[in-house]
Structure 1
Amino acid sequence: MTNPFIPDTFDPPLYFDSADFYFVVLEEQVAKFDFDAVMSSQQRLQGIFGPGSQWPKSDMTLDENIESLQVHKKEFESRLAFAYSVFNKSKDKCLGSVYIDPSQSPNYDCEVYLWIRDDSIDLEKVLYETVLFWLQEQWPFSRIAFPGRSISWACWASEIKSVG
């Protein structure tokens, strides 16, 4: 079965090393680092996936986080979506995450969500620019949506609504 999200000939990278960050597949092995990053910034992250998003809940447990990371890993292996944990260059602190999903709008190839922890918020613009460059240069995407960032939530909602 062919997945139209990415060509069969494209191998999604398992990691990406940039000038400021190190990305690795979001999976159970990074759960403690990821959980620390998520919970340190829990209030600001609510709504990162849209105005109605309840993630992350204030009472989320490490076990729940591990379950979520296992789902991300299965999606990655199935080539359905791609999630990465963003680390600092020394790879000892999780700074955030990047999620690359098939676009719900026919006007885009993918939709991308990203976040960075509160104590590294000064790197948020650099992370966005890094991800945009990476996707344009090394992935098979030319039309990339960053809902809530490069396109407002209201515009994104009408993009999606026009499909349904």
Structure 2
Amino acid sequence: MFEIYYQSKIPTIGWDFYITIAITLSLVFSFFFLKRLYEDKLKLSNIMDFRLLFSLVFLYFLTEIYSYYELFETIERIESGELVSVEGIIKELDISSSSSRSERFKVGKVSFDYNDFGTSGLFFANRAHDSKVIKEGNRVKISYLPKEDDNLIFEIKVFKPNVK
């Protein structure tokens, strides 16, 4: 019998997404007003060129929107049934720590490689550093999302024998 050890939660669209869109659109449509305010009223043009400041702020909001786009794309892949499962014994476990903690292991022929800093918060990265389940020889069932060279862990179930 398998027991769920970790299961990702699919996030919903929050107000922060709509606020980011609104601010970005407001920036675009109020460029000339903000430029006049910045240069004429606040007299800050000698500190930093408005176009540079505007470009940096606008670039920030565009990267935020792109991160939402990637999140929506990932959620769509999960909801469309692209998750794959593998069941077997954890082998070739390799744990390394430097500026972040990385773990690497195989279940069957499938490799998993993640770290607690670079892996999206949507997927498992053993951020609690709990070694009770991710341990050489443990039998697990893992649902994951293949993405380029990575297998992003969505759910981990650990085998718990029925003891009477």
Query: TM (normalized to structure 1)?
Result: 0.26
Query: TM (normalized to structure 2)?
Result: 0.26
Q: Is the helix fraction higher in 1 or 2?
A: 1
The structure showing larger relative contact order (alpha-carbon pairs under 8 Å, at least 6 residues apart) is 2
